[in-house]
């Protein structure tokens, strides 16, 4: 829901788009005379002066709509990496994405230091099949540099008709030279939940949180109960490289495993904007043991689930520290002019832990062994999380100087080489395991609403 105190400002922006430059002066002066907030409207007059000067004197006649779009994009991009303007086309694309099917390459991306960073490739998509990996930096599209483009503009260039090719210029940590990857665009159908029996253990991979996630997870649990039968030892919920998605789906998935108690707390700027989501009775696993897998590609909605189950001691969390994206973005429609995705709140685990720029620390740290080509050659090559993004929203960890940079997001394709998965299976089966040395514990502080850290392409 849009804040009441945002109404005047966003009405101004919308009117400026609809009515042109004249509205900039009229609206700003009208509001400055009645609101008492004189300084902001002086700045709006400055904006109008600059806009009019550009329209009058720029070497070529500029596109007025493009100027306004760029100004809004720049304003929102200056807030944090996750706030953005969605023009009408991008808004429609976003709505399609959350329903679980869209056109593109099949990667979650964000912007980092002028390059597009891959948060994670989506399973069974052209990007995943082409070998793109989390933390890859996309520097060129069909030979043209990305530097200077906004994230929205870069994503727009990556989209295109199905069966058309695009060549991505890639920088990968561990490789000295950039290289090209050619990908053919396709219709991306997001299968949010994949499940299989690992012998007497139910393995459930949740790759994203779209409108289908909760219902697909319940169906998967029911199917595995029947196929494994009475010998079912427990569940592995794999949230690795899950970049987030819809907040209500994260809450529903957490509720699937909890009988009672808080799931997540969201805190906005004002006290009255604090909300608490609670679990209702009913555990789809009927109390069976649960192990949750996370890594440096687990972000946002997946961190809500991991944090809730960890705080309630309903699950043991295994893997490496998560991404640390603990802010909530609200989609605010602007009528025919698209929408804005605005960071409106921070979220906290049931015990009051802020995840922003800190992440979820697993109960048991299991580092995945990297292939030689992915091993960092220097400290500069270490994995990066939310805390490394320029302009990231400061969390409680910043006060204690405990912001964290994230962890590896590598997951082997072969289950037998997946050390984190194999460790979880042994724990559920009661087999002996060699527990690696654990890091010293640190003190813990204690709609259409989306929690996603990235764009889907």
In a domain, 95, yes or no: no
User: What residues contact residue 374 under an 8 Å CB cut-off, 6+ apart?
Assistant: 133, 172, 173, 174, 410
Q: What is the pLDDT of residues 97-153, one digit of tens each?
A: 676 666 689 887 888 777 898 877 877 889 999 999 888 999 999 999 988 888 878
Are residues 149 and 253 part of one domain? Answer: no
Does residue 300 have an active-site annotation?
yes
Catalytic member of 136, 311, 361, 418: 311
In a domain, 350, yes or no: yes
**Residue 411 belongs to what domain range?**
193-456
Are residues 216 and 166 part of one domain? Answer: no
- Alpha-carbon distance of 155 to 456, in angstroms, equals 8
Distance from the Cα of residue 121 to its chain's centroid: 13
- Among 154, 189, 224, where does a domain finish? 189
- Alpha-carbon distance of 405 to 17, in angstroms, equals 39
Distance from the Cα of residue 216 to its chain's centroid: 20
In a domain, 80, yes or no: yes
pLDDT of residue 442: 45
Are residues 173 and 48 part of one domain? Answer: no
Q: Are 425 and 236 in contact (CB under 8 A)?
A: yes
Q: Are 83 and 343 in contact (CB under 8 A)?
A: yes
Q: What is the DSSP letter of 440?
A: P
* CB-count exposure of residue 63 (10 Å: 0-12, 13-18, 19+): exposed
Are residues 184 and 138 part of one domain? Answer: yes
**What CATH number is associated with residue 373?**
3.90.226.10
- Among 140, 163, 189, where does a domain finish? 189
Does residue 42 have an active-site annotation?
no
pLDDT of residue 21: 37
Are residues 198 and 148 part of one domain? Answer: no
In a domain, 60, yes or no: yes
- Alpha-carbon distance of 331 to 247, in angstroms, equals 12
Are residues 212 and 289 part of one domain? Answer: yes
Are residues 130 and 9 part of one domain? Answer: no
Are residues 330 and 443 part of one domain? Answer: yes
Are residues 197 and 185 part of one domain? Answer: no
Residue with tokens 């699950």: 315
E strand or H helix at 203, and its extent? strand 201-206
pLDDT of residue 87: 87
pLDDT of residue 454: 47
Catalytic member of 173, 325, 358, 455: 325
Catalytic member of 28, 83, 300, 354: 300
Does residue 378 have an active-site annotation?
no
Are residues 110 and 70 part of one domain? Answer: no
Residue 415 tokens, joined? 């289950």
Are residues 32 and 142 part of one domain? Answer: no
Smallest CA-to-CA distance from 210 within 357, 98, 315, 134 is with 98
Are residues 378 and 439 part of one domain? Answer: yes
What contacts 24+ positions apart, CB below 8 Å, involve 438-447? 438/364, 438/365, 439/365, 442/361, 442/402, 443/400, 444/351, 444/353, 445/352, 445/353, 445/354, 445/396, 445/397, 445/400, 446/351, 446/352, 446/353, 447/1, 447/247, 447/248, 447/330
In a domain, 94, yes or no: no
Average pLDDT for runs of 10 along the chain of length 457: 36 36 42 63 91 96 93 92 88 75 79 82 87 90 88 84 92 90 88 95 95 96 97 98 92 98 94 90 98 95 97 98 91 93 93 91 94 70 72 68 74 93 97 73 45 51
> Rounded to two decimals, what is the model's pTM?
0.73
In a domain, 91, yes or no: no
pLDDT of residue 397: 57
Task: Count structural domains, the chain.
Answer: 3
In a domain, 92, yes or no: no
What CA–CA distances, in Å, run from 50 to 22, 54, 78, 124, 131?
Answer: 13, 6, 19, 48, 46
Q: Which segments of 49-131 are extended strands (E)?
A: 84-86, 101-104, 107-112, 115-121
- Helix-strand-coil percent breakdown of the chain, rounded to 5? 35, 25, 40
């Amino acid at each position: 829901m849009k804040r009441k105190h945002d109404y005047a400002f966003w009405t101004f922006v919308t009117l400026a788009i609809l009515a042109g430059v004249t509205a900039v002066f009229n609206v700003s002066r009208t509001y400055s005379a009645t609101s008492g907030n004189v300084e902001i409207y002086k700045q709006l007059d400055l904006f109008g002066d600059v806009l009019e000067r550009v329209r009058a004197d720029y070497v070529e006649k500029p596109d007025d709509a493009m100027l306004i779009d760029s100004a809004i994009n720049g304003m929102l991009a200056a807030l944090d990496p996750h706030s953005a303007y969605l023009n009408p086309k991008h808004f429609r694309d976003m709505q399609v994405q959350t329903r679980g099917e869209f056109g593109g390459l099949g990667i979650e991306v964000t912007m980092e230091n002028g390059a597009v960073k891959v948060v994670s490739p989506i399973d069974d998509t052209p990007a995943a099949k082409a070998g793109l990996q989390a933390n890859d930096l996309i520097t060129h599209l069909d030979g043209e540099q990305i530097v200077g483009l906004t994230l929205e503009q870069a994503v727009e260039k990556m989209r295109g008709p199905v069966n058309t090719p695009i060549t991505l210029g890639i920088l990968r940590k561990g490789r000295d030279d950039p290289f090209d990857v050619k990908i053919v665009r396709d219709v991306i159908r997001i299968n949010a939940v994949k499940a299989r029996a690992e012998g007497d253990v139910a393995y459930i991979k949740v790759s994203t949180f779209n409108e289908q996630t909760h219902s697909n997870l319940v169906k998967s649990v029911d199917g595995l109960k029947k196929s494994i039968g009475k010998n079912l030892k427990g569940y592995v919920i794999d949230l690795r490289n899950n970049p987030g998605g819809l907040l209500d789906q994260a809450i529903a998935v957490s509720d699937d495993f909890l009988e009672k108690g808080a799931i997540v707390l969201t805190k906005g700027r004002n006290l009255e904007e604090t909300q608490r989501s609670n679990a209702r009775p009913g555990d789809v696993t009927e109390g069976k043991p649960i192990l949750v897998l996370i890594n440096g590609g687990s972000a946002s909605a997946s961190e809500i689930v991991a944090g809730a189950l960890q705080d309630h001691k309903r699950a043991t969390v295994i893997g490496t520290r998560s991404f640390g994206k603990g802010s909530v973005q609200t989609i605010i429609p602007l009528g025919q002019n698209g929408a804005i995705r605005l960071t409106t709140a921070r979220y906290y685990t049931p015990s009051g832990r802020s995840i922003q720029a800190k992440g979820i620390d697993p109960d048991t740290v299991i580092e995945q062994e990297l292939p030689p080509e992915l091993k960092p050659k220097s400290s500069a090559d270490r994995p990066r999380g939310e805390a490394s993004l320029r302009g990231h929203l400061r969390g409680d960890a910043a006060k204690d100087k405990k912001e964290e940079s994230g962890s590896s997001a590598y997951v082997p394709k072969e289950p037998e080489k997946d050390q984190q998965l194999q460790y979880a299976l042994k724990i559920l089966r009661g087999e002996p395991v060699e527990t690696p040395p654990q890091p010293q514990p640190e003190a813990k502080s204690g709609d259409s609403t989306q929690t996603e850290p990235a764009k889907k392409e």
